[in-house]
């Protein structure tokens, strides 16, 4: 009979690290939720091999339930001919007290909007203003846009 494994902080990190996120960060919005849960464990000073408290265990179960693998098809390259000879990129960043993000989209000649790259980060423990977190999002956006440089 299999012994049921107790969920611990160490096992949570193991699960998070096994979720593959491409260098372009297409599933960053999924992974950031797990990172926020991990940050909560650190905030509550849970040791690496201690069992997760019931409220955090319920959150983990909900995240795992929400995590369902589906086929994902995305354009991996972008040329100016795809965009009607003129490259048009739209860049956005946003922040909340829990996380901040940066995304880059492109628009092709058919006026279709395509996600090109995304990056998320969990907000720091220390109390930050939304303005400061928005600035961190802008810095993140600057770095993400240069991922798209011509090869």
- CATH at residue 105: 3.10.20
Last residue of a domain, one of 28, 49, 68: 68
Q: Based on the fold, state whether residues 13 and 56 are members of the same structural domain.
A: yes
> Same domain, yes or no, for 11 and 62?
yes
Examine residue 1 and state whether it is found in any structural domain, yes or no.
no
pLDDT 10s per residue in the chain (151 long)? 344 568 889 988 888 888 877 777 888 888 899 999 999 889 889 999 998 888 888 998 888 888 776 666 666 555 555 555 666 889 999 999 999 999 998 887 777 888 888 999 999 988 899 999 999 999 999 887 766 655 5
Q: Do residues 74 and 83 lie in contact, with contact meaning Cβ atoms separated by under 8 Å?
A: no
Which residue segment(s) compose the domain that 42 sits in?
7-68
Q: Which helix (H) or strand (E) holds 90?
A: strand 89-95
d(CA 74, CA 117): 10
Helix (H/G/I), strand (E/B), else coil: 98: coil
The SS3 call for residue 101 is: strand
Read off the pTM.
Answer: 0.78
| 82 HSE (CA, 13 A, CB side) | 14
In the structure encoding, which two tokens stand for residue 80, read together? 């100016």
């Amino acid at each position: 009979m299999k012994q049921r494994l107790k969920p611990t902080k160490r096992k949570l990190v193991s699960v998070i690290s096994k979720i593959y996120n491409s260098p372009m960060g297409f599933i960053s919005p999924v992974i950031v939720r797990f990172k926020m849960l991990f940050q909560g464990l650190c905030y509550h000073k849970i040791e690496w091999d201690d069992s997760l408290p019931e409220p955090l265990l319920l959150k983990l179960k909900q995240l795992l339930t929400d995590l369902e693998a589906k086929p994902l098809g995305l354009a991996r390259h972008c040329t100016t001919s795809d965009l009607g000879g003129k490259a048009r990129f739209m860049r956005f960043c946003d922040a909340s007290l829990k996380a901040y993000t940066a995304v880059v989209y492109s628009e092709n000649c058919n006026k279709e909007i395509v996600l090109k790259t995304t990056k998320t980060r969990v907000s720091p423990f220390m109390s930050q203003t939304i303005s400061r977190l928005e600035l961190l999002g802008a810095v993140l956006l600057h770095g993400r846009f240069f991922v798209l440089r011509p090869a």
